[in-house]
Amino acid sequence: MNNRSYRFKSVFIAMAVLLIVSLLAACGQSDSSNSEKPDTGATSNSGVSTDGGKEDAGNVELRFSWWGSQGRHDRTLQAIEKFNALHPNITVKPEYSSWDGYWEKLSTQVAASNAPDIMQMSILYIKEYSERGVLGDLTAFAGNELRTEDLNDDILKNQGTVNGKLTGIPMSDNASVLLINREMFNQAGVEPPAIDSTWDELFVKSRELKGKIGDSVYGIFDASASLEAFMYYLFSNGDTLYQDNRLGYLDDHLRAWLQMWEDAREEGIAPTANMTASFLPLSNADPNKDALLKGNVAIMGPTWVAAFPAYENLMKENVDMISYPHADHAGSVLQTAMFLSASAKSKHPKEAAMFIDFMVNEEAAADSLETERGLPENKKIREYLDPKFTDRDRNMIAMLEHVADSNPSWYDPGPKGAGEVTKLFEQLVQKQQFKKASIDEVVTEFRQEADKIFEKNN
């Protein structure tokens, strides 16, 4: 995937207007999930079956699964109740959980041919799940049961469509950022970093803060084991993480990345390996438990604009956003925060498309969801919700516009097998953090083992 192939400034400006916040889009908080009812439907050889008309008689039951916080759960349940009331012959059964719990459960359901009829899907996994035949092709319903005319056509074609099949309907978009603890900088008497900073400038700020506050805190969270963080570092240096279903970057860039963080740990401006291992991973940050809120670090990320409200609710004016560090190019990226997808094995594909249409296109759903999942892709729904935007919402819009205006890359979910490669990267870099492997050993082993994974899957 060429991250810059469809990145035109006019598209970015248009997207920035529609972007706001997919609250906790990549960091849902723990909640218990509902029980599942097995799906015994037959599989269509071409994805979603288009004979939905034959399923119209009698009552229809659809299972809908999503990840998120309790606030998201509550709002989604309200929207489901409205849909059920509008369609008495259709009952939507909710299934929900945390971010990590969601993907673990969905993987088990898919393996057992028990996937939900409708599922919330991440840019991280939509390509993989589409290529595995898990997600159905919604093309036959587009323009009929599923209206798409008011959605971003660029996103539909380039991210929601995989191998010619429309498998994801976008709900909202996002941008990567770093979060800063303003209270810590105020206590230290140090000016917070600028919205656009380099890594060197962030480390200078971390050094100044550490010198004022002392040994109990650190300036910046150690993101060295995050493949996502490394990807943005590559983009900022004009490089790419993936190319032709393999790793595509220069090894010297990985050496520089790992050396930068090793130096920061040794200087004491980034946490020790033991401390970093004790924190929640960046991918599943919970503001109640992570290092930023606790005051262990003053700068943390990468995370997403979508995560900001969860922190602002707890930290008030003491939290702020800045761009991911830049070099020759922007470091922050744009990303479709989430999609709604249908199961390729659903017995009721037409009704699944109708529910997705309701969630994306109807004012009744928007009244319940508001901006919890982000500013809807539907232009008319965006206009409908505009009077409800808060100062915080407009602050996030401004941040998204700032990123969109910086000529950023698009998030690259990578080839099939990228999830396994992400875990491999974390494991190998953690060995280096604990001095059980050298930087050169990690650089060599990661490329060898990652390319084996991609070769196996592609």
User: How would you classify the pairing of strands 333-342 and 242-243?
Assistant: unpaired
- Residue 344, Cα to own-chain centre: how many angstroms? 23
Q: Can you give the CATH number for the domain in which 191 is found? A: 3.40.190.10
Tens of pLDDT, residues 52-74: 333 444 799 999 999 988 888 99
Tens of pLDDT, residues 433-456: 999 999 999 999 999 999 999 999
Same domain as 105, residue 202 = no
DSSP 422: H
Same domain as 341, residue 317 = no
Report which of residues 30 and 415 the model is more confident about. Answer: 415
Specify the residue for token string 């706001």.
Answer: 20
Cβ atoms < 10 Å from Cβ of 71: 15
Position 343 scores a pLDDT of 98
Residue 211 sits in which domain range?
A: 175-333+412-457
Q: What are phi and psi of 36, to 5 degrees?
A: -105, 150
Tens of pLDDT, residues 344-374: 999 999 999 999 999 999 999 999 998 788 6
Integer Cα distance of 98 and 96 in angstroms = 7
Same domain as 117, residue 51 = yes
Same domain as 290, residue 146 = no
Domain end call among 405, 422, 438: 405
Position 223 scores a pLDDT of 96
Integer Cα distance of 24 and 22 in angstroms = 6
Specify the residue for token string 């702020």.
Answer: 320
Same domain as 435, residue 381 = no
Integer Cα distance of 446 and 440 in angstroms = 10
- List the alpha helices (DSSP H) in 196-315: 199-213, 227-236, 251-267, 273-278, 291-294, 308-315
Report which of residues 293 and 330 the model is more confident about. Answer: 330
Tens of pLDDT, residues 148-176: 999 988 889 888 999 999 999 999 878 99
Residue 1 covered by a domain = no
Give the number of domains in the chain: 2
Q: Which tokens hold the place of 8?
A: 């035109």
- Is 374:306 a contact under the CB 8 Å cutoff? yes
Specify the residue for token string 């309907």.
Answer: 169
Same domain as 392, residue 381 = yes
Residue 121 covered by a domain = yes
Residue 221 covered by a domain = yes
pTM for this prediction: 0.76
Same domain as 321, residue 342 = no
Position 335 scores a pLDDT of 82
Same domain as 179, residue 165 = no
Report which of residues 373 and 298 the model is more confident about. Answer: 298
pLDDT at 284 over 90: no
Q: Which tokens hold the place of 189?
A: 């008497």
